[in-house]
Amino acid sequence: MHAPNPWPVAVLASGRGSNLQALHQASLHSGLPMRITGVFSDQADCGAMAYARQQGIPHRAFAAKDYASRQIFDRALMQAVAAVKPALIVCAGYMRIISDTGIALAPCPMINIHPSLLPLYPGLHTHARAIADGRLEHGASVHLVNNILDGGRVLSQAKVPVLDGDSPERLAERVLRREYPLLVETVRSIISGRIALNNAPHAQVLYLHDDNSRLD
């Protein structure tokens, strides 16, 4: 059941939409006081779009081929996002790099979930890189989006051990299972005011408890 005044949240996604589903289901069944006012994607046939259609969530896809530049694409995207009046934008598996134009036009703070313990391993292939470097720990981070790839202030993290004989695929599965509660609890903490959405350089990073129930 929704809170009386749930936070309006827009979600950007390009893939299966599993983090979108985690957020939406938590808003319906786990007391997360938010509602998804729009889902936006660069992939019309992705799982996130299918889930939004199934759940009756407003959604819109943008095809890169229809726009002359990344900046024009991002301008159109952010105009559509602004129209659903979000208080927060969540990039949940959104695979396009957002241009400086898009970031400047974002109508509210924007966060992203990334599969590494930032500042380690921005970009792609994070699991393979962690294994190749002999890391004992890996995980996921939620961070503010700025004009540096995966370079905004880290808000929260969840850690998993890297096991002997791990493959990138097995490690990715374990990280993904922690991503869902990490994102939900981070959004909960943003809404409650426990996490401030500013760029304070020495702000505390919160960590997901081992039982996935809270951030410490």
In the set 114, 127, 138, 143, the catalytic residue is 114
The Cα 8–Cα 12 span in angstroms is 14
From residue 112, how far is each of 4, 15, 94, 156, 166 by CA, in Å?
26, 14, 8, 11, 26
Ramachandran class of 134: left when φ > 0, alpha when ψ lies in -120 to 50, beta otherwise: left
DSSP 2: -
DSSP string, 118-146: TTS--SS-HHHHHHHTT-SEEEEEEEE--
The Cα 100–Cα 105 span in angstroms is 9
59 catalytic, yes or no?
A: no
Ramachandran class of 113: left when φ > 0, alpha when ψ lies in -120 to 50, beta otherwise: beta
Structural contact between residues 106 and 89, judged by C-beta atoms closer than 8 angstroms: yes
Residues annotated catalytic, as ranges: 114
